[in-house]
């Protein structure tokens, strides 16, 4: 009886341990890059909780047909620049995400710094089935220069 | 092995006792009457929600009579609100889902931004949330009337403030009203555990026929 329990516990631990090291590119990254991405993820998650999770939900699933999901989102994948710009400048009008039309104005947060946007983007783009890798602050800077305001 | 057996039977016993006790208190639990009470010689007169008349997402009149004999949960929000409203709507959706099959429970959400939140906007909002207007009324009306009913009937506040993100300050409260229009509970609609309590309290009210 206890042995079975022990086996189950060990099994669960193994699964948890395995899934927590998500990035599949782990081995290709240098130590420095790994630390950086970890840092961005931690900061990004905190910022996400404050600025984004109210609507997009803590698990990125969105809310009904009101707020689009970020989880496994085809829109996010195909519209990197728009996603970055929308964090600072907002987004208005219809968009289609995973086949569903959404049309709720997203307010921009003008006070977010380039670094904060990079951190949020790194978090969003590497959570819930999204696997883009680090979103560097220099890339974010470039994108932000060309936003439609 | 024997030790484990004894241990686990202890836990089982404890759990049974706890469950039994929990069940007991839930059965006997009653909710307080909130607001100012008046006393006559023979009776206590409790605070009740005043008369009102607003328009819902289907352009139908919604009045205090709509909720006569019903238990309902009321809140104040606006559709373009970037801060607490999305959380409130996420949580209110839980209340909606948990009472979906019970026609005795309804929801009344007032917009505090009637200028922007027209009937059409509210209709679209309700549709996108995927909820039925039989159960969940999104209402608009004269701004002053809405603010007044919030303050005088539901004991919550809402005011315009251009410096706030979204332009309004308002309470995130969910207000539980019983079949006779008496306020029986106030809950923070932005906190899941408070809304858990609200859902349990609705069950208490449903069993109470007074």
In this prediction, residue A22 carries a pLDDT of: 47
What number is the ipTM of this complex? 0.71
Q: Is the pLDDT of residue B164 over 80?
A: no
B-chain residues within 8 Å CB-CB of A86? none
pLDDT-based confidence at A20, cuts 50/70/90?
A: very low
Q: Is the pLDDT of residue A44 over 50?
A: yes
- Give residue B3's pLDDT band: very low, low, confident or very high (50, 70, 90): low
* Range from A77-81, A90-94, B36-40 carrying the lowest mean pLDDT: B36-40
> Which residue from B minimizes the CA distance to A56?
B86
Contact B176, B156 (CB under 8 A): no
Quote the pLDDT of residue B208. 84
| Residue B165 with chain A: CB contacts under 8 Å | 107
pLDDT at residue B144 above 80? yes
- Compute the distance between CA of residue A127 and CA of residue A146 in angstroms, rounded to an integer: 26
Render pLDDT for A92-106 as a digit per residue (tens, 0 to 9). Answer: 999 999 999 999 999
Phi then psi for residue B118, to 5 deg, are: -75, 175
A63, A102, A105: residue with CB nearest B80: A105
Element (H, E) at A102: strand A100-102
Distance from CA of B182 to the nearest CA of A (A): 31
Q: Which of B35, B46, B74, B49 is nearest to B153 (CA)?
A: B49
Residue B4: closest C-alpha in chain A:
A2
B80 interfacial to chain A (CB closer than 8 Å): yes
Q: Is the pLDDT of residue B4 over 90?
A: no
Maximum average pLDDT range among A23-37, B23-37, B179-193: B179-193
Cβ contacts of B191 on chain A, cutoff 8 Å: none
Residue A94 contacts residue A101 (beta carbons within 8 Å): yes
CA distance B184 to chain A (A): 28
| E-strand stretches of chain B | 38-39, 44-45, 53-55, 61-63, 71-77, 105-111, 136-139, 158-160, 168-170, 173-177, 183-188
In 3D, which of B85, B69, B93, B62 has the Cα closest to residue B182? B69
Report chain B's C-alpha Rg in angstroms. 20
A64 with B130: Cβ contact below 8 A: yes
Q: Quick: pLDDT tens for B12-34.
A: 555 555 555 555 466 678 999 99
* Closest CA relative to residue A131, chosen from A7, A8, A21, A13: A21
CA distance B111 to B149: 12
CA A115 – CA A141 distance, rounded (Å): 9
Neighbours of B10 (CB within 10 A): 10
The answer to whether B107 and B137 are in contact (CB under 8 A) is: yes
Q: How many CB atoms lie within 10 A of CB B168?
A: 20
Q: Which CATH number fits domain A33-145: 1.10.390.10, 1.20.1300.10, 1.10.760.10, 1.10.260.40?
A: 1.10.760.10
């Amino acid at each position: 009886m206890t042995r079975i329990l022990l086996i189950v516990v060990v099994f669960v631990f193994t699964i948890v341990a395995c899934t927590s090291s998500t990035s599949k590119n782990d081995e290709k990254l240098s130590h420095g890059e790994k630390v950086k991405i970890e840092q961005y993820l931690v900061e990004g998650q905190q910022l996400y909780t404050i600025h984004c999770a109210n609507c997009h939900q803590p698990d990125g699933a969105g809310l009904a047909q009101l707020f689009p999901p970020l989880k496994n989102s085809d829109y996010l994948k195909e519209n990197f620049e728009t996603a970055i710009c929308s964090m600072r400048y907002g987004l208005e009008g219809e968009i289609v995400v995973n086949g569903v039309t959404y049309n709720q104005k997203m307010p921009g947060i003008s006070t977010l710094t380039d670094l904060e946007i990079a951190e949020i983007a790194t978090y969003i783009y590497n959570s819930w089935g999204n696997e883009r890798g680090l979103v560097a602050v220099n890339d974010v800077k470039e994108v932000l220069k060309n936003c439609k305001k | 092995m024997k030790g484990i057996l004894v241990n686990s039977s202890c836990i089982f016993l404890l759990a049974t006792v706890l469950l039994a006790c929990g069940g007991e208190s839930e059965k006997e639990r009653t909710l307080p009457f909130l607001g100012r009470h008046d006393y006559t010689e023979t009776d206590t007169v409790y605070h009740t929600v005043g008369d009102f008349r607003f328009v819902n997402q289907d352009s139908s009149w919604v009045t205090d009579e709509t909720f006569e004999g019903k238990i309902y949960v009321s809140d104040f929000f606006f559709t373009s609100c970037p801060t607490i409203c999305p959380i409130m709507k996420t949580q209110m959706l839980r209340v909606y889902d948990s009472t979906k099959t019970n026609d005795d429970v309804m929801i009344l959400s007032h917009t505090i931004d009637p200028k922007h939140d027209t009937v059409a906007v509210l209709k679209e909002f309700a549709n996108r949330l995927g909820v039925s207007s039989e159960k969940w009324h999104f209402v608009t009306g004269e701004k002053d009337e809405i603010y007044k009913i919030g303050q005088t009937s539901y004991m919550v506040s809402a005011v315009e403030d251009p410096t706030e993100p979204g332009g309004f300050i308002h309470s995130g409260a969910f207000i539980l009203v019983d079949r006779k229009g008496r306020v029986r509970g106030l809950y923070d609609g932005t906190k899941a555990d408070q809304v858990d309590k609200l859902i349990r309290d609705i069950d208490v009210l449903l069993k109470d026929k007074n």
